[in-house]
A and B are shown apart, each in its own frame.
Chain A
Amino acid sequence: MTPALEIDHLSKSFGAAEAVKDLSLSIEAGEIFGLLGPNGAGKSTTINMISGVCRIGQGAVRVFGYDTVRQYRLTRRLVGVMHQEIVTDHFFTIDLALKIHSGYYGVADDRIWRQLLIERLGLGPHLHKSMHKLSGGLKRRFMVAKALVHKPRLLILDEPTAGVDVELRRTLWQFVREINESGTTVLLTTHYLEEAEQMCGRIAIMNDGRLVALERTEELLSRIDGRSLLLYLETPLDRVPDPLVTWNGQLEQDGRRLRLCLPGETAVGEVLQCLAQLQLPIRDLERPRPGLEEVFLQLTGLNLNNNQGGSL
């Protein structure tokens, strides 16, 4: 089966700065694929090269087997893209802008489909408002509708939930799932790693223009060597008991929570035995599942207190 998207040794420089360095990846038709990375990793430049906003420096991009440069009239019809920056035309209302956008893609307006997008993205009450009167979240939802109005086979969402409230985020992801189930391939970037974990079958991580990981989400999560053990205490501790220093014990929440970091080879039984001997006032115990965030931080060399990378 022809891949929905093939990126072949793609590179792009802006002056001396190399934004994307020899990137190659392939997305199968029907996938929900996550492209993650810190700010400046090259995700948006990659998306811009796929969609045609940015000229390709070196390499090639193929959408459903068609070259995006030589056969751009065909590939652009197959792709719907929602860019990270909020882009609207202040002259028109949501309804008219959607009709116009459909025409730009050379397809007659499908009123029923347009109505469905308006309804599912909660744009109904704002349909005849001028674009500059819409909130940031509404503009973002409009941009999702705009990306879908011509019924693309590959949907690219660059940070679709930034600035969107929790409830709408949930409904938006539900809608994206339905879109995917009906046959549309989805490529998304998000800085909500939990969302990427829940939504994506495969995830690629970029850092400094390069691909640093591309695996199935569960395989990526299993990369974490070691796990945490959280102990919730009845009474707070003022210091970590000496025997627990071995497991890098750290007090959190004003001494009411004790975090132990267990290396891969440590048996939990051994830890529990030690805890029993210490007779700590343990109220509850939790072994959190390693998250994408840990993998992400490990691969990109960032840490939670490091602001260099900005948002993820």
Chain B
Amino acid sequence: MIDRLRQPRRFVSWLPFATLLQKEVRRFLKVAFQTLLTPIVTASLYLFVFGATLGQRISVLEGFSYAQFVVPGLILMGVINNSFANTSSSLFISRYLGNIVDLLVTPITPPQLILAYTLAAMLRGLLVGSVVLLISFFFAELPFASPVAAAAMAALASFLFAQFGLVAAIYANSFDALSMFNNFLILPLIYLGGVFYPVSILPPFWARLSHINPMFYLIDGFRHALLGVGDLSLGTAFTAAGLMAAALFVWASLLLGSGYRLRL
């Protein structure tokens, strides 16, 4: 039996990537109550409050109900939060518990590592976003002006925040520090980025200031794709989002590629 040790198996170069991707997906499915159900319930509550109750009395965009206006932002909020949470918590917990060494000693390459973490995070983010979209059908009818662009913007947003999650997981020294990224950076930027109101209704100074909020381009672009109207053109939104995603990808690649704070 021990002779089996002398029968090495063929090396499959993509298998480390596929295994890590599978493991990451299993990880969030294993705690689906926390990773999928909780954000879906939260988004549903928002939909109920702004769609079925308060939303009946508010109008911010001509030709659309408030529920129609707010749904794209809520979907993207679910996508962004969960993509970020997946990479940031998974990588940080691995660092914190020390089981990151299980990956460091294997032949997995940095691009494989980044891609596996990213795809799992995108899957979780887009899964939450899709369920929120389905639930939103009970509250608002969306015109789906450009469904392909909407899907592309959602994918781009999840990719972008998956990268940001990797960066945060590397820099965070504690769970407290990690939650600060979410509570003091992502959440304020989402709320101030036009989820609940169009930036165009702000006073000129605040409206101009909103243009330096990266979230504005993602949310407005996604809303534009779904409703057919937005403060920005789709081209501008995609260009800005694409550039941000590329910058964060390069940042995450440099960190993980060099082993910064991972390898001693």
Interface residues of A, Cβ cutoff 8 Å to B? 14, 45, 48, 51-55, 72-74, 76-77, 79, 81, 83, 85, 87-92, 96, 100-101, 103-108, 110, 112-113, 116, 146, 148, 150-151, 178-179, 181-184
**Contact of B105 with A107 in the complex, beta carbons under 8 Å:** no
**Contact of B107 with A108 in the complex, beta carbons under 8 Å:** no
Closest residue to A181 on the B side, CB-wise? B2
Shortest C-beta distance, B186 to chain A (Å), equals 25
B57 at the interface (CB under 8 A from A): no
Q: Which residues of B contact A53 (CB under 8 A)?
A: 101, 104-105, 263-264
Closest residue to B264 on the A side, CB-wise? A54
Closest residue to A76 on the B side, CB-wise? B107
Q: Which residues of B contact A79 (CB under 8 A)?
A: 105
User: Interface with A: B8-16, B143-151, B177-185, B199-207, which one?
Assistant: B8-16
| 18 pairs, CB–CB < 8 Å, chain A vs chain B | A53-B104, A53-B263, A73-B13, A83-B101, A87-B98, A89-B102, A96-B26, A100-B22, A103-B19, A104-B20, A106-B11, A106-B12, A107-B10, A108-B10, A108-B12, A182-B2, A183-B5, A184-B5
**Contact of A91 with B27 in the complex, beta carbons under 8 Å:** yes
**Contact of A14 with B9 in the complex, beta carbons under 8 Å:** no
Interface residues of B, Cβ cutoff 8 Å to A? 1-13, 15-16, 18-20, 22-23, 26-27, 30-31, 94, 97-99, 101-109, 259, 263-264
Q: Which residues of B contact A90 (CB under 8 A)?
A: 97
Shortest Cβ-Cβ A-B pairs, 10 listed: A103-B19, A107-B9, A104-B106, A73-B107, A54-B264, A106-B15, A76-B107, A106-B11, A51-B105, A113-B4
- Complex Cα distance, B2 from A87, in Å, reads 26
- Complex Cα distance, B16 from A52, in Å, reads 16
Q: Which residues of A contact B20 (CB under 8 A)?
A: 104
Using A88-B99, A92-B23, A108-B10 as known contacts, list a sample of 18 further A-B pairs with CB atoms less than 8 Å apart, ordered by residue number in A.
A14-B264, A52-B263, A53-B101, A73-B107, A73-B109, A81-B105, A89-B102, A100-B23, A104-B16, A106-B13, A107-B8, A107-B9, A108-B9, A108-B12, A116-B4, A151-B9, A183-B5, A183-B6
Shortest C-beta distance, A301 to chain B (Å), equals 27
**Contact of B107 with A106 in the complex, beta carbons under 8 Å:** yes
**Contact of A103 with B15 in the complex, beta carbons under 8 Å:** yes
Q: Which residues of B contact A178 (CB under 8 A)?
A: 2
Q: With contacts A76-B106, A113-B4, A116-B1 known, is A87 near B97, CB below 8 A?
A: yes
From B4, B10, B27, B31, give the contact of A112 (CB < 8 A).
B4
**Contact of A76 with B10 in the complex, beta carbons under 8 Å:** no
**Contact of A179 with B5 in the complex, beta carbons under 8 Å:** yes
From B6, B19, B94, give the contact of A100 (CB < 8 A).
B19
**Contact of A85 with B26 in the complex, beta carbons under 8 Å:** no
Q: With contacts A103-B15, A104-B106, A105-B107 known, is A55 near B2, CB below 8 A?
A: no
From A45, A52, A88, A100, give the contact of B105 (CB < 8 A).
A52
- Complex Cα distance, B263 from A184, in Å, reads 27
**Contact of B4 with A72 in the complex, beta carbons under 8 Å:** no
**Contact of B263 with A106 in the complex, beta carbons under 8 Å:** no
Q: Which residues of B contact A96 (CB under 8 A)?
A: 26
**Contact of B5 with A107 in the complex, beta carbons under 8 Å:** no
- Complex Cα distance, B8 from A183, in Å, reads 12
Closest residue to B4 on the A side, CB-wise? A113
Q: With contacts A85-B98, A105-B106, A116-B1 known, is A55 near B11, CB below 8 A?
A: no
**Contact of B8 with A103 in the complex, beta carbons under 8 Å:** no
Shortest C-beta distance, A181 to chain B (Å), equals 8
- Complex Cα distance, B109 from A148, in Å, reads 21
- Complex Cα distance, B30 from A151, in Å, reads 29
Closest residue to B262 on the A side, CB-wise? A53
Q: With contacts A53-B104, A91-B26 known, is A182 near B263, CB below 8 A?
A: no
Q: Which residues of B contact A91 (CB under 8 A)?
A: 26-27, 30-31
Shortest C-beta distance, A233 to chain B (Å), equals 50
Q: With contacts A90-B97, A105-B16 known, is A55 near B105, CB below 8 A?
A: no
Q: Which residues of B contact A92 (CB under 8 A)?
A: 23, 26
- Complex Cα distance, B264 from A178, in Å, reads 33
Closest residue to B19 on the A side, CB-wise? A103
Select the residue from B10, B102, B263 with max chain A CB neighbours within 10 A: B102
**Contact of B11 with A87 in the complex, beta carbons under 8 Å:** no
